[in-house]
Amino acid sequence: MYLKVIIVSFVVLLLGALIGFLAFPMLFKELVKRVRQFPQSVNLKPGSETRQLWEKMPFPLTFKIYVFNVTNAQDIEMGGKPKLQEVGPFVYDEWKDKYELMDIEAENAISFNMRNTFQTRADLGLSGEELITMPHPLLQFMTIANLEQPAETLATVALGLDIIFKPQSAFITAKFKDLFYAGIDINCDQEHAAAQAICQQFQAGAVPGALPGNHTNAGRFKVSRSRSRQSSVGRVLAFNEAKQLHIWPELNNTSCNRLRGTDGTIFAPLMRPEQGLWSYSPQLCRSLTPQWMGRTKYNRLPAQRYELNFGSARFFQTEPDLHCYCTDYPDNCPADGTMDLVRCSGTPLMASLPHFYQADQKLLAEVEGVQPTAAKHASILIFEQVSISFV
């Protein structure tokens, strides 16, 4: 029996999350002209105009992704420096919708499941048939994730992986669309117990990193429906029924586990720019705000400029609040400009901005083919003040 396993789609979603979460509320453009006079009119109560737009986005976001293709896999296995080639864009329409909505009158809140659906737009980019070589996520994740296990377990896992994949290399070459969306075939027609054990894990959906990310539940939110003394419109009150996360270490009352801001699909009107634009991203298990960089103009209208980054060592020093993102502060923190996702996704993954933009220079020296430039790789947001929308 062959199993189709979707291996890395969550990586796409991760990026999707960041982008979706930043590029979003264009919807409010027409809507919020009145807001200046009537901030209370932006609420999510049944029947309100905002509610309609918020429930089902009337148009998709354009989601473009570029991936790195490894061009010297054999060299790398001999100890060579990875040579990467950027391939893209692959273009998708990304629809975000909410389902199983439930109004909770007593709390003036609403709960729902969030879902992201990607539709291929081959007319705007590459076809998805291109062959991409990348580190084999299943082999590498399972091996690295099991390194701490007793030697016996490790040997069994290694044997099982060997039987299933008959690996010639730690890299995989497959079509983009199979790697990221449709899934790759895994031969589970195996007698050996070690292989069967692994296949059962796949079937049970128990292998992190082997979960489909297209058109699936991205988590259940509970958000506030309108402004109140304790809350602002759209603020996340709970995620997957919990009022806070239990992912990051609880150190010195730091705030990594706090849910801050909204689900990213709405921002309260008339916030001060210094307050940031907080939202919770399930794919990063983290609440994040881009940093306010100052005033700007967009179409001659006053606007605010924000930029996203993951922080740096200097940042860790001045922001004790972020120490909980370190494995072991101060000795073991993620490199500047990166975020460690192992606690979040269960897989040994780091996130950074594209091309290690604003990340530790050491990382750049370790691979060939990355060239961070502000113009291409910074995550900039222009938040227009009058209509309170992103552009």
Ligand X SMILES: *[C@@H]1O[C@H](CO)[C@@H](O)[C@H](O)[C@H]1NC(C)=O
Query: Which of 323, 355 has the CB closer to ligand X?
Result: 323
Check binding of 350 to ligand X (CB under 6 A): no
Check binding of 87 to ligand X (CB under 6 A): yes
Q: How far is the CB of 82 from ligand X (least distance, A)?
A: 11
Query: Which of 111, 287 has the CB closer to ligand X?
Result: 287
Check binding of 96 to ligand X (CB under 6 A): no
103: nearest Cα among 43, 40, 44: 44
What token pair was written down for 378?
């910074």
Number of neighbouring beta carbons within 10 Å of residue 388: 22
Check binding of 323 to ligand X (CB under 6 A): yes
Query: Which of 104, 131 has the CB closer to ligand X?
Result: 131
Residue 185 makes CB contacts below 8 A (sequence gap 6+) with 2, 3, 4, 5
State which of residues 214, 224, 265, 281 lies at the interface with ligand X (CB under 6 A).
214
Query: Which of 60, 219 has the CB closer to ligand X?
Result: 60
Q: How far is the CB of 374 from ligand X (least distance, A)?
A: 26
E strand map for the chain:
2-5, 61-70, 84-104, 109-120, 131-135, 171-175, 184-187, 216-224, 236-239, 279-281, 286-288, 291-298, 301-308, 338-340, 350-352, 379-384, 389-390
DSSP bridge pairs for 187: 2
φ/ψ (deg, to 5) at 341: -105, 5
State which of residues 37, 253, 299, 332 lies at the interface with ligand X (CB under 6 A).
253
Binding flags for ligand X, 54-83, as an x/- string (CB under 6 A): ---------------xxx-x----------
Site for ligand X in 116-145 (CB under 6 A): 117-120, 130-131, 133
Helix/strand/coil for 184:
strand
- Give dist(CA 85, CA 338) in Å, integer: 21
Check binding of 383 to ligand X (CB under 6 A): no
Find the radius of gyration of the CA atoms of the chain: 22
State which of residues 215, 243, 295, 362 lies at the interface with ligand X (CB under 6 A).
215
Contact residues for ligand X, defined by CB under 6 A: 69-71, 73, 87, 117-120, 130-131, 133, 181, 214-215, 251-253, 320, 323, 329
